[in-house]
Amino acid sequence: MKILIIGGTRFLGRLLVITALVRGHRVTLFNRGKSNPDLFPEIERIIGDRDGELNKLNGRKWDAVIDTCGYYPRVVKASAKTLAKSAKHYTFISTISVYGDLSKAGVGESSPVGRTKDETVEEIREDTYGPLKAICERIVQEHFPNKALVIRPGLIVGPYDLSDRFTYWVHRVSRGGKILAPKPENYQVQYIDVRDLSEWIIDLIEKNQIGAYNGIGPNYRLTMKQFLSKCRDVSQSDGEFIWVRKKFLKDKGVQGWVDLPIWIDDPKFIGLMKTDCDRAFKSGLKMRPLEDTIRDTLDWCRTRPEDYKWRAGLEARREKKLIKEWSAESQSPD
């Protein structure tokens, strides 16, 4: 197959390219050439900005397009319109954040998506990200009727992840010592290894699948305690988990998802870690063992410079201070 990937040099896009090449497909990249410009010198790259330079794609034909970086309806509409007559299939990478109500478990592909009053807004915020992605999905499906595949991933993890949400825990547990962990210990965790996600997406494209799929797993209940314990086992650390109540963390200004990644303390977003993923697994999604994802993420993490500035997680001194305060509070008489 001839595949055009819009983006293709960062995280998911990077792995989609690798997967497609391994499977023998011919890949063309269309991007601005700013992120990892030296990657994939062996394949064709069309340098251009999708916002204003789509004419560089004119006169070409592809079996499939993968749009990894569509956020604004105006821009996605231009891309879909330009490619409608030159591509047989369009895959749009969306997000499970499209759903209008994530306050409960079991959100599935047929659940209502969020809306925004101003569909022309081009600013990514908590209240616009999901609804704008939902509009982009609709636009792609309108321009590619019965030819559009929509992937709604949850937390994507693994090597080359720039968010540090999963990587923080893998690295932190490997360092050992007393580790601050948020209660409850049975908090449910969902994630998807970027390599498994890429394999599944290319597989769906090869099968000419259409429709929407939640890209998340595993297809069993994984708790925070099990996840962190697995991190400790893989890294063979001496880590001791100090499980701390939500109220204490809130009182100390500790933010879920940011200071303590993966854990979400906002009731509005509980469903982000309890998404229905049955459709994905029935369609062929396979996930490698969690320990493999942890091990490979840790190996990659260790290649980064020592002065790397983390994008998520507690700074060591703050964590130590919080553990000390929690110990004093929990041991004090009522």
- Whether residue 206 lies inside any domain: the answer is no
Three-state secondary-structure class, residue 52: coil
Is the model's pLDDT at 334 over the cut of 90?
no
- Whether residue 34 lies inside any domain: the answer is yes
Amino acid at 73: P
Domain finish residue from 128, 153, 178: 153
- Whether residue 234 lies inside any domain: the answer is yes
Q: Examine the domain organization and report whether 231 and 304 are in the same domain.
A: yes
Is the model's pLDDT at 263 over the cut of 60?
yes
Q: Examine the domain organization and report whether 169 and 318 are in the same domain.
A: yes
pLDDT-derived band at 332, boundaries 50, 70, 90 = low
Domain containing 116 equals 2-153
Cβ atoms of 43 and 29 within 8 Å: the answer is yes
Q: Examine the domain organization and report whether 103 and 174 are in the same domain.
A: no
Q: Examine the domain organization and report whether 29 and 119 are in the same domain.
A: yes
- Whether residue 242 lies inside any domain: the answer is yes
- Whether residue 201 lies inside any domain: the answer is no
Q: Examine the domain organization and report whether 34 and 181 are in the same domain.
A: no
Average of pLDDT values for 69-85?
97
- Whether residue 77 lies inside any domain: the answer is yes
Residue 183 in tokens: 């209660």
The contacts of residue 326 (CB under 8 Å, 6+ apart) are: 180, 242, 244, 248
* CA-based nearest residue to 107, from 270, 308, 307: 270
- pLDDT tens for 2-28 read 999 999 999 999 999 999 999 999 999
- pLDDT tens for 132-178 read 999 999 999 999 999 999 999 999 999 999 999 999 999 999 999 99
- Whether residue 127 lies inside any domain: the answer is yes
Average of pLDDT values for 287-296?
98
B/e letters for 107-138, b = 16+ CB within 10 Å, e = fewer, are bebebebbebeeeeeeeeeeebbbbbbbbbbb
What are the angstrom distances between the C-alpha of 304 and each of 95, 161, 168, 227, 282? 28, 12, 13, 23, 37
- pLDDT tens for 88-100 read 999 999 999 999 9
Q: What is the pTM of this model?
A: 0.96
Q: Examine the domain organization and report whether 107 and 9 are in the same domain.
A: yes
Would you say the C-alpha torsion 19, 21, 24, 29 has a positive or negative sign? positive
Q: How far apart are CA 309 and CA 306, in angstroms?
A: 9
Which CATH number belongs to the domain containing residue 304 in this structure? 3.90.25
Is the model's pLDDT at 333 over the cut of 80?
no
Provide the percentage of residues in the chain whose pLDDT is more than 90: 97
Cβ atoms of 280 and 203 within 8 Å: the answer is no
Q: Examine the domain organization and report whether 234 and 134 are in the same domain.
A: no
pLDDT averaged over every residue in the chain = 96
Residue-level pLDDT at 57: 97
Domain finish residue from 153, 177, 210: 153
Q: Examine the domain organization and report whether 53 and 98 are in the same domain.
A: yes
Number of structural domains the chain divides into: 2
- Whether residue 17 lies inside any domain: the answer is yes
pLDDT-derived band at 278, boundaries 50, 70, 90 = very high
Average of pLDDT values for 243-251?
96
Residue-level pLDDT at 307: 93
Q: What are phi and psi of 263, to 5 degrees?
A: -75, 130
Which CATH number belongs to the domain containing residue 45 in this structure? 3.40.50.720
Span of 10-19, 164-173, 262-271, 292-301 with lowest mean pLDDT: 262-271
* CA-based nearest residue to 115, from 144, 165, 73, 75: 73
Q: Examine the domain organization and report whether 44 and 180 are in the same domain.
A: no
Q: How far apart are CA 85 and CA 92, in angstroms?
A: 17
Q: Examine the domain organization and report whether 30 and 133 are in the same domain.
A: yes
Q: Examine the domain organization and report whether 81 and 178 are in the same domain.
A: no
Rounded to 5°, the CA angle 169-95-220 comes to 55
Q: Examine the domain organization and report whether 178 and 321 are in the same domain.
A: yes
